Amino acid sequence: MTPSRLSSAEPPAPADDDHARGEGPLLIEYADLECPYCARANVLLCDLPVRRIFRHFPVVSKHPRARVLAHAAEAAALQDGFWPLHDSLMDDQGRLEDPHLWERCRVLGIDLDRFEADRRSAAVAERVERDFRSGVRAGVMTTPTLFVDGRAYPGVPGEQLLGRLRSRREAD
């Protein structure tokens, strides 16, 4: 039988086109830009000394704008605006309709015409889908899910994990 495309596999190692920031131990995050738990995790992770890799895991039946937002973030990435738009969305998940996205682009200096074309492109959709499918293969079933040292941590990270990540930096 042909191998199933969504059978189990570890989260892929960071690639050049992954969205990464920070320095320290590797932390791979599967998240949904409309998910309030992901917004909470973002607050907890933002000051941690980790190498943070963001991957999209939009769950549309739970968050109707999730995939639209993932595509928007990828379109912004093509103008080096992934993290600014990511942070803008995570800081305010109450205004997510198209006019709100356009206003965010204006504030962030993202070219709107290019953004509008890019966020509807097949390349951007495939980029988001790549992340989502790698998450399914890694067993992600909720957002956020964090991977540290090959182990999955579903949900908002608890103090035990956060403390361990902080102390690893101190031990380095």
Partner 1 sequence: MIEPGSPAPDFTLSDQDGNEVSLGDLRDRTTVLVFYPLDFSPICTDQLNVYQEVLGDLQQEGADLYGISVDSAFAHKAFREHLGLTIPLLADFNPKGEVARKYGVYIEHRGHSRRALVMIGPDLEVKWSHEAPSPLEIPGANLIFDALEAQ
By CB under 8 A, name the binding residues for partner 1: 1, 3-9, 59-62, 132, 136-142
| Nearer residue to partner 1 within complex by CB, 37 or 102 | 37
Residue 11's SS3 state is: coil
Q: Tell me whether residue 91 is exposed, middle or buried, using C-beta atoms within 10 angstroms of its C-beta: 0 to 12, 13 to 18, 19 or more.
A: exposed
Answer whether the bond into residue 144 is a cis peptide, omega within 30°. yes
Q: Residue 28 — φ and ψ, nearest 5°? A: -105, 130
Q: Which is nearer to partner 1, 49 or 139 (CB)?
A: 139
List C-alpha distances in Å: 160 to 132, 148, 150. 27, 13, 17
**Which residue lies nearer to partner 1 by CB, 30 or 115?**
30
Closest approach of partner 1 to the CB of residue 5, in Å:
7
- Nearest distance from residue 40's CB to partner 1, in Å? 15
The nearest distance, CB 135 to partner 1, in angstroms, is 9
At its nearest, how many Å lie between partner 1 and the CB of residue 138? 7
Closer residue to partner 1 (CB): 100 or 137: 137
Sign of CA dihedral 117, 113, 65, 22: positive
Q: How far is the CB of 120 from partner 1 (least distance, A)?
A: 20
- Which tokens hold the place of 48? 């941690």
Nearer to partner 1, 24 or 139 (CB): 139
Q: What is the 3-state secondary structure (H, E, C) of 123-146?
A: HHHHHHHHHHHHHHHCCCCCCCEE
